[in-house]
Amino acid sequence: MKLVRFGEVGREKPGLVDADGGIRDLSSVIPDISGASLSANSLDRIRKLDAKTLPLAPSGQRLGACVGKVGNFIAIGLNYADHAAETGAPIPAEPIIFNKAPSCIVGPNDNVIIPRGSHKTDWEVELAIVIGERASYVGANEAMDYVAGYCVCNDVSEREFQIERGGTWTKGKGCPTFGPLGPWLVTRDEIPDPHALDMWLDVNGERMQNGSTKTMIFNLPQIVSYVSHFMILEPGDVITTGTPPGVGMGMKPPRFLKSGDEISLGIDGLGVQRQRVFAFEERPADIRYPAHQRSVSV
């Protein structure tokens, strides 16, 4: 299944993508694509519905982040061997874990805002895991039983804040709009092998990243198991799992986002995102920063 959230910022409704690509309103079935609605039992109940009996969402609706009310937004650093090589970093012996602020989450086509004082805002296409069951101290052999599905994440990053300002990576990763998720949450049954997915990212139509989940250092079961040994993962939590090479920081000379840029990115079977980039000072006047975004309609 492909699940979506559609509507105005803060008022998104749950939806199901039907066989013709239309969005069916799930509001009468579940309150949101979040929390307990992502359990295996809940997903089975949705799967058994006849989508044609559900009302169609109005056309031209904004897509929100494909999962709502995210508690933990966890990221894994340097998890692609070819990306580690481009940054000159050694292969990590254990997964590198850092937090992205849940408040940075936006829809897949919402604007990305370069924060105040930023000179090194960068892009990263990533495969994200959405947790469906409460997970604590789970083994790698059972870890995928706790996963509801997958989505595309743009792990937008400010490299000066992340690397040059001391402390942890978190402050370069959680700025408002730095976590576009979606367009869809795709349930596990639709992706037979999440470790064989092509992924890409373009800036202004120029291909920057062209990789595959095949080059992950730590696979998804290892990641879920590992993270669950350091915190309890709740339904609706998101783990974004690293990026392939082609980030701006790794170019010679480095290249970073500027106001007016357009980003598009996607992963096989998980859909495509498109974002416009604005400097903080040049953000559209109708944005109530950071809660409301002018966005690309779908």
Does a structural domain hold residue 180? yes
Does a structural domain hold residue 96? yes
Tens of each residue's pLDDT in the chain, 298 residues: 999 999 999 999 999 999 999 999 999 999 999 999 999 999 999 999 999 999 999 999 999 999 999 999 999 998 998 877 787 778 899 999 999 999 999 999 999 999 999 999 999 999 999 999 999 999 999 999 999 999 999 999 999 999 889 888 889 999 999 999 999 999 999 999 999 999 999 999 999 999 999 999 999 999 999 999 999 999 999 999 999 999 999 999 999 999 999 999 999 999 999 999 999 988 885 444 544 444 444 4
pTM value? 0.94
Q: How many CB atoms lie within 10 A of CB 118?
A: 19
CATH assignment of the domain containing 110: 3.90.850.10
The string of pLDDT tens digits covering residues 9-20 is 999 999 999 999
Closest-CA residue to 239 (of 107, 144, 127, 112): 127
- Domain count within the chain: 1
The string of pLDDT tens digits covering residues 188-218 is 999 999 999 999 999 999 999 999 999 999 9
Does a structural domain hold residue 85? yes
Please tell me the distance from the alpha carbon of residue 50 to that of residue 186, in angstroms, as a whole number.
18
Q: Is 54 helix (H, G, I), strand (E, B) or coil?
A: coil
Does a structural domain hold residue 142? yes
Structural domain of residue 89, as residue ranges? 67-281
Does a structural domain hold residue 48? no
Q: What does the chain come to in residues?
A: 298
Does a structural domain hold residue 127? yes
Where do runs of H (alpha helix) occur along the chain?
40-47, 81-87, 159, 220-228
Closest-CA residue to 13 (of 270, 28, 1, 2): 28
21: Cβ contacts below 8 Å, ≥ 6 apart: none
The residue type of 269 is G
Does a structural domain hold residue 51? no
In the prediction, which pLDDT does 285 show?
Answer: 59
